[in-house]
């Protein structure tokens, strides 16, 4: 493949700033009020999330990585040779590199992420380290329908890699729609490797989203920093507090920004009033069971999976396949 070492051709489908404004206004007008979590990931937000992944309380990344290290040869064999790998929201790409290094003759890697700078940096680094691999990065919101680039060489099949339990940030109907689109993307004899956080006691879950160092709080508040900078909003950061709770009935972590006192915020020519203690929902993180998630994927068209877990069953990695 003739190309300068480390060069990649980015397909830029990054959402316009007007999308952020439109969705922020719609979210703050709704009941309950929300700000979409996908807008966490500007450059600063991506850096903060990387710090979160290294915190002692945040077991998710550490546990999933341990599973991948232990079972990656089995996963690679399960995927098979000559695959095109499509990675959704893979961030710095460390877990993807683990997969690609184990696979037999991977044809191409198509990372799709909303954080353009992090995506470009990780794609260029991977292209330098694996010059025989065609790397085709796409900056886009992967929750939307996408036409992905076609590799120069034809793969035998497509495998989607979706680590990090990001599927937990989707409400069940959204997760099912997403999984249906993934199944269509995989096509005949394709597959999905996906990381899923499992249900566990509140005393293990809540500290992971309320770390003592306050990094998750800064990450959450950065959403308001971004709204002020990019949308001309006037959120007063000192009057908002981060809070994450586990809703046991819904089996999900709920991350909020809570108003301290009555206040008003201006955004997009509109004025939004908040009562003392009123919340803006910024993220859900659903926790699944092995049987429940298998059933969800089956309803989207996937066959029964292979499953790998850690010893404590805190986390699971599934390999689903299509007909």
- Across the range 205-221, mean pLDDT stands at 98
Q: Are residues 71 and 190 in the same domain?
A: yes
Provide the domain count of the chain: 2
Whether omega for the bond prior to residue 32 falls within 30 degrees of 0, making it cis, is yes
Label residue 212 by pLDDT band (50, 70, 90). very high
pLDDT at 29 over 90: yes
Mean pLDDT lowest for which of 65-79, 142-156, 203-217, 282-296? 142-156
Q: Are residues 99 and 244 in the same domain?
A: no
Mean pLDDT lowest for which of 26-35, 109-118, 169-178, 224-233? 109-118
State the pLDDT at residue 17: 75
pLDDT at 148 over 90: yes
Q: Are residues 193 and 217 in the same domain?
A: no
CB 320 within 8 A of CB 305: yes
Is the residue at 40 inside a domain?
Answer: yes
Label residue 1 by pLDDT band (50, 70, 90). very low
Percent of the chain whose pLDDT exceeds 90: 85
Average per-residue pLDDT in the chain? 94
Q: 252 phi and psi, to 5 degrees?
A: -150, 145
* Helical (H) or strand (E) element with 204: helix 202-209
Higher pLDDT, 214 or 93: 214
Residues 217, 213: Cα–Cα separation, whole Å: 9
Is the residue at 5 inside a domain?
Answer: no
Is the residue at 166 inside a domain?
Answer: yes
Is the residue at 140 inside a domain?
Answer: yes
State the pLDDT at residue 9: 87
pLDDT at 2 over 60: no
Is the residue at 2 inside a domain?
Answer: no
Kindly give the interhelix angle for 94-102 and 59-79, rounded to the nearest 10 degrees.
Answer: 20
Q: Are residues 135 and 42 in the same domain?
A: no
Domain residues for 272? 24-55+202-286
Label residue 15 by pLDDT band (50, 70, 90). confident
Q: Are residues 138 and 172 in the same domain?
A: yes
Is the residue at 15 inside a domain?
Answer: no
Report CA torsion sign: 147, 307, 115, 267: positive
Q: Are residues 86 and 153 in the same domain?
A: yes
pLDDT at 220 over 90: yes
Q: Are residues 64 and 112 in the same domain?
A: yes
pLDDT at 205 over 80: yes
Q: Are residues 230 and 292 in the same domain?
A: no
Is the residue at 17 inside a domain?
Answer: no
Residues 45, 117: Cα–Cα separation, whole Å: 12
Report CA torsion sign: 8, 222, 38, 171: positive
Q: Are residues 145 and 181 in the same domain?
A: yes
Q: 138 phi and psi, to 5 degrees?
A: -130, 120
Mean pLDDT lowest for which of 5-9, 134-138, 146-150, 306-310? 5-9
pTM of the model: 0.93
- Across the range 290-309, mean pLDDT stands at 97
Per-residue pLDDT reduced to its tens digit, 53-72: 999 999 999 999 999 999 99
State the pLDDT at residue 285: 98
């Amino acid at each position: 493949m003739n190309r300068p070492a480390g060069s990649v051709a980015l397909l830029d489908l990054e959402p316009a700033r007007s999308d952020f404004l439109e969705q922020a206004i719609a979210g703050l007008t709704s009941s309950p009020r929300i700000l979409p979590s996908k807008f966490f990931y500007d450059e600063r937000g991506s850096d903060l999330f990387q710090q979160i992944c290294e915190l002692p309380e945040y077991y998710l990344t550490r546990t999933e990585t341990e599973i991948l290290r232990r079972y990656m040869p089995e996963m690679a064999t399960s995927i098979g040779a000559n695959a095109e790998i499509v990675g959704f929201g893979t961030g710095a790409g460390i877990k993807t590199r683990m997969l690609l290094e184990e696979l037999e003759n991977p044809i191409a890697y198509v990372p799709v992420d909303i954080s353009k700078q992090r995506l470009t940096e990780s794609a260029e680094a991977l292209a330098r380290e694996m010059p025989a691999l065609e790397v085709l990065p796409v900056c886009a919101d992967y929750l939307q329908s996408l036409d992905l680039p076609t590799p120069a060489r034809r793969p035998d099949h497509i495998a989607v890699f979706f680590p990090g339990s990001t599927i937990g940030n989707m409400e069940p109907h959204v997760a099912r729609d997403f999984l249906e689109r993934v199944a269509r993307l995989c096509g005949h004899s394709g597959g999905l490797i996906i990381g899923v956080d499992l249900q566990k006691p509140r005393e293990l879950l809540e500290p992971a989203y309320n770390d003592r160092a306050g990094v998750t709080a800064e990450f959450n508040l950065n959403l308001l920093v971004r709204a002020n900078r990019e949308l001309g909003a006037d959120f007063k950061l000192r009057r908002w507090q981060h809070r994450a709770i586990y809703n046991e009935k819904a089996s999900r972590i709920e991350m909020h920004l809570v108003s301290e006192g009555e206040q008003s915020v201006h955004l997009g020519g509109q004025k939004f009033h908040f009562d003392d203690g009123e919340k803006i929902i910024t993220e859900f993180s659903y926790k699944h069971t092995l049987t429940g998630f298998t059933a969800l994927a089956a309803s989207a068209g996937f066959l029964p999976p292979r499953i790998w877990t850690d010893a404590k069953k805190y986390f699971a990695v599934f390999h689903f396949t299509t007909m």
